[in-house]
Structure 1
């Protein structure tokens, strides 16, 4: 299907794409997508339940993990309707307001997740570089302030972007290159001078993801410098091991983000199948892999899972 638009109307319609060349097989392709979304939802809900119910997880690093899981749930629920609607029902059209709403939540939650990763880096920085002051610095109030700041920053910086797009006419076919509404993608379809909106989008990226990456790198440089001054090699390893989950989560989040940015830059030379697959993986793999990383790497999460599983077995046996 192709998109359509009445140039005299204030309500343009946009069209999503599936996976080019594989339209006949999209019902089969929907099966793994559906399973991956289900695993992502279940995994993040389990993390939220564990942090809420297990007393030994009532620590700052796990409160941040709960915030991360909550954000991942939001990202999954933001993209799942349009992605599965394409594969299951071949529904490819979306109105402007619905598209702007989806775009707002996707970009805001991505910014919030980046901010939470910064807060988690700060948590590890204090835990390793100032362990005696950890409980004094990382209080419940501090955790709430850092989480709230990430949310407010993302929503505040993102809020003007939908209004910028509403003032532009859309006078082409309006075919989106993703299975969801993405700001650079929509901006490319707008008619008129989009210079200011494009610059603001760049400012948004610099004030969120770029600043966050710099802070995370600086934090780990400080952590590495502190660990190297410790006397025991075994102690060095134990200190770095506490950062393993966070480092994996950072890579899981930023690698697809960078890959998608590169694909946007060189999309003309990229295979359509690779392009659409990467664009879907960008917002699906992070919510899917984060619970898996913490389940495999965090001993406290593993202990909580074993405890819950054992209790359930006892109850079932009774």
Structure 2
């Protein structure tokens, strides 16, 4: 098994950064519009505890939809499979992540999976707490345990910007409340969800999260089972089938590892029993995935024969 080398990663990063010209920074969240497409970074965290990086590895970005994996893990650990899958389905979809159409067609009217926005809202609704701070605090606490970093928190400016422009997510939430999928205050839920999406970290910290998932939920250094193995497997399965929005099928063919993307430009990848990989590049393709992130992961997966298929 080849080890990911520092020099090789830097060389590939230099090669793929020009692909940022083929993408566009997310413009529907005002605070994300200011991201500079030339900022990019990548890190690989081996299950042996070593980490290599390239680009601006200390740059902190918001997780956006990558946070859906953390929220799902918390919901599974707090409430169990039965409760979680009474709220959301398990199937992939060819619809965009913000679509409401399946909610209208499905009977009962629950989201088709936890990686689309409707499903993620239903999952965040399962966080324990009397207010949005306590709800998002559960997800932040897991992020701190996985990264072994107490500094993990959310970006208040980005969270506020998302909350004030979350018209589509409000529509999804109110539709689900009408159909009994979610309970409680929609505004409190939106506040928690936008704070969840605004959790910040750098590529090295995100890659470490991937390494714990690669190690079946067990911390590489402490040997602590942070996420039960079965729940870690469930999360990774959703990453394969739904993690790259409605480009998950083509990504599975081209790269072939569990991965989750976010519209900030972040991608988290998991290489079973080997390590976690994280890439950041805010220029997105038409599906909402980082252009340089996908290109780099394609190169790495081919070189190291990562594909699970």
Same fold (TM over 0.5): no
Larger strand proportion of the pair = 2
TM-score normalized with structure 2 length: 0.31
Larger Rg: 1
Larger helix proportion of the pair = 1
TM-score normalized with structure 1 length: 0.30
